[in-house]
Amino acid sequence: MKKALALAAAMALFAAALPLTAEDQAVVKVFALKYKRVEEAALLIRGNLSPSASVTLAPRLNAMTVTDREENLRTIAKILAEFDKPPRSFTVAVKLVRARSDVPAGTMSKEIGGLGAMLASYFHFNDYELIDSAVLRSSEGQEAACRLGDDYQVSFTIGRSSFGQTLLLSPFVLSRMKKDAVKGAAPSQLYRTAMAVEPNQTLVVGASRDEASKTALILILLVQELPAPGTEKGPPGTKSVEKQEKKP
C-alpha cells in the first residue's frame, strides 16, 4: 500500500513537472478593427469561443482583447478578416414608370424603348410612360435619396442580406411630394418595403394599389458594384498582436 501511494505521488510530481502543451496555453490577442464596429464583431465571434475564454472591448479604439486557445483564435482571426472589410460601393439606376389601362393600346412612350415589351409581359396595361430616371451612387450602410420628376422621391439604404451576394435595400421607400404652405414640399409614403436585389440583374417592381386599378407606378432598378479603391493593393484588413500566457 505504501509503495502504491509513493508511486502515485511520484507520478503526480512528474506530471506537474511536464511543460504545458500548446492546447493548454491561453493566447492573448488584440484585434483592432478598421471598418466595422467592435461591438458587432464581439457578437459575431461569440459562438467560436471556449467556455473559459474572455473578451474585453475597447470601443474608443474600436478594438478588443480575446484570451482563448490558439486554435480558436485562429478561427476568430479568419472570421474577423472576412468581416472587417470596407463597405462596398454601388451605382443604383432607377426608372419610375407610370402605367395606364385607360388609354388606347399602342401609345407606349418612346422613352421606355426596349423595356416596353418586358413590362407588357409582366403587367396588363396599355401604356407605359417614363416619369423620370436617375443613377445614384451609394455604399453599404449609407442612405441614398433622389427626386424623380416633380412629384416623387425614392430613398433606400443598402445592406447585405444573408443570401450570398444578394443585397437588401431596406427600407426602400417611394413617396409622393405633397406641397405644404408652411413646410414646402414634404414626402408622403406610397410604397415601403425591404427589397432584395441581385447585382447586375434588372428588377421590376409594381406599386399599384390593387390589380383592378387603371393606373400604377412601376419601378425598374439595376444595381452594379463599383471597384473598391486600391483593390490592386488589397485592403489593410484586421491587425492583430499576440502574446503567450500560461493558464494558472
Q: How far apart are CA 32 and CA 156, in angstroms?
A: 30
Q: Is 193 a residue whose pLDDT tops 70?
A: yes
Q: According to the model, what pLDDT value does residue 100 have?
A: 84
Residue extents of the structural domains in the chain: 22-85, 89-225
Instruction: Give the residue, 12 or 96, on which the prediction is more confident.
Output: 96
3-class SS shares of the chain: helix, strand, coil, % to 5? 25, 45, 30
Q: According to the model, what pLDDT value does residue 144 have?
A: 94
CA angle 62, 240, 35 (to 5 degrees): 40
- Each residue of 83-119: pLDDT tens digit? 898 888 999 999 999 888 877 766 556 666 667 777 8
With cut-offs at 50, 70 and 90, classify the pLDDT of residue 136. very high
Instruction: Give the residue, 7 or 37, on which the prediction is more confident.
Output: 37
Burial class (CB in 10 A: 0-12, 13-18, 19+), 35: middle
Identify whether the C-beta of residue 166 lies closer than 8 Å to the C-beta of residue 197. Answer: yes
Q: According to the model, what pLDDT value does residue 107 have?
A: 57
Q: Is 46 a residue whose pLDDT tops 70?
A: yes
CATH number of 22-85: 3.30.1370.120
Instruction: Give the residue, 164 or 46, on which the prediction is more confident.
Output: 46
Burial class (CB in 10 A: 0-12, 13-18, 19+), 238: buried
Closest to 94 (Cα-Cα) out of 204, 213, 206, 230: 204
With cut-offs at 50, 70 and 90, classify the pLDDT of residue 228. confident
The verdict on pTM exceeding 0.85 is no
